[in-house]
Amino acid sequence: MRGYGAFAWYYDELTENVSYQKRADYFLQLIEKFGSSGPIVLDLACGTGSLSMAPTGSRNEFTFSIPLRLDASEDMLSVAQEKAMEHPEWDILYLCQSMTELDLFGTVDTTICALDSINHLTD
């Protein structure tokens, strides 16, 4: 995906005012309310992975620690992978592809998509 490149390494500074923990808590509430059928969570247009790295609630657990992370930008995924190196116990699959042309290798139980990701849908 064009448009991020070196900017990917500064994206987190641009979004430092975003409370990823509050957003993760909100998504967790929705997942619990509507009953996800399993643990596989797709973070669609994950960017630098900040949302799926956020600890949630009083449990301080990484609820989205078994995600598939998908983004069209190799640079954004590189940042996300670098962050995840702090948690080698996580088994995360990174997919570099457009969210408009998903080609998953199986099914997912829950999909989350946040922030400005919707802006990448042009039609």
Q: What is the DSSP string of the chain?
A: -TT-GGGGGGHHHHTTTS-HHHHHHHHHHHHHHHT-SSS-EEEET-TTSHHHH--BTTTTB-TTSSEEEEES-HHHHHHHHHHHTT-TT---EEEES-TTS---SS--SEEE--GGGGGG---
Minimum mean pLDDT among 1-15, 36-50, 55-69: which range? Answer: 55-69
Residue 39's CB is within 10 A of a number of other CB atoms, namely: 13
pLDDT tier, 5 (very low <50, low <70, confident <90, very high otherwise): confident
pLDDT on residue 55: 62
Q: Give Cα separations from 69 to 51, 112, 123 (angstroms).
A: 10, 10, 23
Provide mean pLDDT across the span 8-20: 81
Residues facing residue 94 across a β-bridge: 69
Question: What pLDDT is attached to residue 64?
Answer: 52
Q: Over 70: is that where the pLDDT of 24 sits?
A: yes
Q: What is the pLDDT of residue 60?
A: 44
Interval 70-96 mean pLDDT: 87
Q: What is the pTM of this model?
A: 0.80
Q: Would the pLDDT of 1 be above 60?
A: no
Whether 67 has a pLDDT exceeding 90, the answer reads no
Report d(CA 79, CA 75) in Å as an integer. Answer: 7
Average pLDDT, the chain: 80
- At 2 the pLDDT is 55
